[in-house]
Amino acid sequence: MAASIRLLARRIVRDAFRTINSSVSVRIVSSSCPSNLSACRCFSDGAADKSTHFGFETVSEGEKAERVYKVFESVAQKYDVMNDAMSLGVHRLWKDMLLHVMNPQPGIRLLDVAGGTGDISFRFLNYVRSQQERVARRTARANQTPSWQEISTSYMTPTEEIEMETEARESRAVVCDINKEMLKVGKQKAESMGVSSGLSWVVGDAEELPFDDDQFDVYTIAFGIRNVTHIDLALQEAVRVLKPGGRFMCLEFSKVTNPLLARLYDAYSFQMIPVLGEVIAGDWKSYQYLVESIRKFPDQETFKQMIEDAGLFSVRYHNLTGGVVALHSGFKL
Q: Say if residue 177 carries a ligand binding annotation.
A: yes
Contact present, 61 and 228 (Cβ < 8 Å): no
Q: Closest by alpha carbon to 115, among 30, 193, 209?
A: 209
**CA separation for the pair 112, 110 (Å, rounded):** 6
E-assigned strands of the chain? 51-54, 57-60, 109-113, 172-177, 199-203, 216-222, 242-253, 313-320, 325-331
DSSP-derived secondary structure letter, 43: -
**Contacts by 281-284, CB closer than 8 A, 24 or more apart:** 281/74, 281/75, 281/77, 281/78, 281/81, 281/82, 283/74, 283/75, 283/78
Contact present, 199 and 224 (Cβ < 8 Å): no
Q: Closest by alpha carbon to 263, among 191, 322, 188?
A: 322
What sign does the dihedral 62-218-188-279 (CA atoms) show?
Answer: positive
What sign does the dihedral 312-313-314-315 (CA atoms) show?
Answer: positive
Q: Say if residue 117 carries a ligand binding annotation.
A: yes
Q: Say if residue 206 carries a ligand binding annotation.
A: yes
Contact present, 178 and 204 (Cβ < 8 Å): yes
Secondary structure (3-state) at 118: coil
Count of CA atoms in the C-beta half-sphere (13 A) of 4: 1
Binding site for S-adenosyl-L-methionine: residue ranges? 117, 177, 205-206
Binding site: residue ranges? 117, 177, 205-206
